[in-house]
Structure 1
Amino acid sequence: MATEHPAKARAPHRRPFQVATGVLGDLMFTTGVLLALLVAYSLWWTDVTVARHTGVAAEHLRQRWSAAAPAAPPTGTADTAVPPRFEADDGIGFLHVPAMGVGYQVLIKIGTGEDTLAEGVAGAYTNPYSSAMPWEPQGNFALAAHRDGHGAKFHDLDVLKPGDPLVVETRDRWYVYRVDATLPKTSKHDTGVIAPVPTGSPYTVPGRYITLTTCTPVYTSLYRMAVWGSLVREQPVDPDRTPPPELRKEDPSNG
């Protein structure tokens, strides 16, 4: 008499529902892995491409500065030359933040639209408040930049603490600010943080301020964080573009 093969006897019978569930689970896992890889690749690739683009844009701006006629010699602490006017997407200068790395700088442009920030720059707000330029007698120079992807220029913004220097470089002058306060998290709809006298900041009267904003936590856009600083001093750019002491300290070769 024929007997059933032992392996066949032990093989469990899988119902159609169990088979479908297993296949669906495999598909979901594979899809999740592919999406994670796609996100990681997208963030990395945008950083690579943006670094190339902003490097070229920064070099072009410095070349324009070199080709331009020298500014009139400043008298006292104020510029005697007529302040420059900028249009949307114009390059203003560079933001230097020693606490965010040796040689850290980011190109500053007008505007915070997605197309502008995707270039890997710090954008000066034009809405709902129009940023005051550093050379203006009072106001808030408010900037935004991506924290992840597209250069991730403000990825390490959370390392800043009161007392840290922030330096804005323009064609003719250096503007040195000091961090006074930080706001780790607020609503992304909280526009008061970039007001002329920022809401929640330690400031109560008009002055010459700077505000840096970006998304938080990392890899999300759920909230916003802000860093506030006030102008300490300004100084003219010499022919050699010698940086102020706050930036020379970050380079060991400069003592």
Structure 2
Amino acid sequence: MLRAASPSRSSLVFAGFLSLLGELLVTAGLVLALFVVYSLWWTDVLAERHASARGDVVRRQWQAAPSPASPASPASPASPAGAGGLGMRDGIGFLHVPAMRNGEVLVKRGTAPEVLNDGVAGYYTDPVKSALPWDEKGNFSLAAHRDGHGAKFHNIDRVRNGDAVVFETRDTWYVYKVFAQLRRTSKYDVGVIAPVPKGSGRTAPGRYITLTTCTPVYTSRFRYVVWGELVRTEPVDAKRTPPAELR
């Protein structure tokens, strides 16, 4: 009777190696998948929770703060009436961009990861210092994540010329109108957040707003930029009725 030849020792070792390699690849794939879920979903969940909680704190502070017209809360560069007379550590107000469909976005000081990872937008302090909305002239320059950690500027590519960008403080609505976009530029192009933003088409000082984020989606190789210009301000009434652009 014929018998099958016994496999050689080397073939058994090779088969074992392939089996181990397959298991390692499957494990690596699962780890990678879990990392993607964490980066693009769970960080969003955590950031939304944190931003919502901080936003509630800011609104409670606005309700509790004395009127900016009273002697107890004089306006100053560090504590402007437009920000509700607060120290601004928790946030200076809320950004509304209807075209992005991202709800209200709490704005805080700074653009470091530990700030933006909390699901907020931050205004630049370095390498160019941002103006603030209540300043007479300058560029209110903001950054936020496009993916993960709240992804507040994920839909920035939906913004078009003529769209509204509204910034809300305790006492004032600042209404901007988008006039230009730059879909890709170097991450080192600090001119886009200059007081008179380079590349925007504007050549004279004004009251501008600049939104910046990473591009393409899921990368950080370049920056996407949107520019707007202040068209008017409106006082906040007792019911906090939003301007027409947000209704």
Which TM bucket (shorter chain)?
A: 0.7 to 0.9
Identify which of 32, 35, 38 aligns with 1:35: 32
- Give the drift of 1:15: 7.7
- Give the drift of 1:51: 1.0
Identify which of 23, 37, 53 aligns with 2:50: 53
Q: C-alpha separation between the residues in 2 aligned to 1:36 and 1:188?
A: 28
Q: C-alpha separation between the residues in 2 aligned to 1:23 and 1:177?
A: 60
Q: C-alpha separation between the residues in 1 aligned to 2:171 and 2:150?
A: 27
Q: Work out whether residues 100 and 154 of structure 2, in 8 Å CA contact, stay in contact via their aligned partners in 1.
A: no
Q: Work out whether residues 139 and 195 of structure 2, in 8 Å CA contact, stay in contact via their aligned partners in 1.
A: yes
- Give the drift of 1:40: 1.7
Give 3-state SS (helix, strand or coil) of 1:91's partner: coil
Post-superposition Cα deviations, 1:194-250, rounded to whole Å, max 9, x if no partner, equal 1111111111111000000011111111111110000010011111111100001xx
The aligned residue for residue 180 of structure 1 is 179
User: Which runs of 5 or more residues in structure 2 are unaligned?
Assistant: 80-86
Give percent identity, aligned residues only: 56
The aligned residue for residue 125 of structure 2 is 126
Q: C-alpha separation between the residues in 1 aligned to 2:239 and 2:121?
A: 25
TM-score by length of 1: 0.84
Q: C-alpha separation between the residues in 2 aligned to 1:206 and 1:122?
A: 24
After superposing the two structures, state which structure 1 stretch, 40-49 or 135-144, moved more.
40-49
Q: Work out whether residues 89 and 116 of structure 1, in 8 Å CA contact, stay in contact via their aligned partners in 2.
A: no
Within 5 Å, give how 1:92-241 maps onto structure 2.
Answer: 92-101=92-101, 104-241=103-240
Post-superposition Cα deviations, 1:82-128, rounded to whole Å, max 9, x if no partner, equal 25526674410000011122x71100001111111111110000011
- Give, as a single letter, the amino acid of the residue that structure 2 aligns with 1:52: R
TM-score by length of 2: 0.87
Q: Does 1:64 align with 2:61?
A: yes
Give 3-state SS (helix, strand or coil) of 1:43's partner: helix
- Give, as a single letter, the amino acid of the residue that structure 2 aligns with 1:93: G
Post-superposition Cα deviations, 1:42-96, rounded to whole Å, max 9, x if no partner, equal 32111111111111111110111111122339xxxxxxx6255266744100000
Q: C-alpha separation between the residues in 2 aligned to 1:191 and 1:89?
A: 25
- Number of residue-to-residue matches in the alignment: 236
- Give, as a single letter, the amino acid of the residue that structure 1 aligns with 2:143: A
- Give the drift of 1:168: 0.2
- Give the drift of 1:19: 5.8
- Give, as a single letter, the amino acid of the residue that structure 2 aligns with 1:157: I
Post-superposition Cα deviations, 1:152-208, rounded to whole Å, max 9, x if no partner, equal 111111110101000000111000001111111111111111111111111111100
- Give, as a single letter, the amino acid of the residue that structure 1 aligns with 2:49: R
Question: For residues 50 and 92 of structure 1, do their structure 2 counterparts lie closer, same or farther at Cα, with a shift above 3 Å needed?
Answer: same
Question: For residues 24 and 129 of structure 1, do their structure 2 counterparts lie closer, same or farther at Cα, with a shift above 3 Å needed?
Answer: same
Supply the RMSD in Å over aligned alpha carbons. 2.4
The aligned residue for residue 243 of structure 1 is 242
Q: C-alpha separation between the residues in 1 aligned to 2:119 and 2:39?
A: 14
- Give the drift of 1:26: 5.0
Q: C-alpha separation between the residues in 1 aligned to 2:53 and 2:196?
A: 35
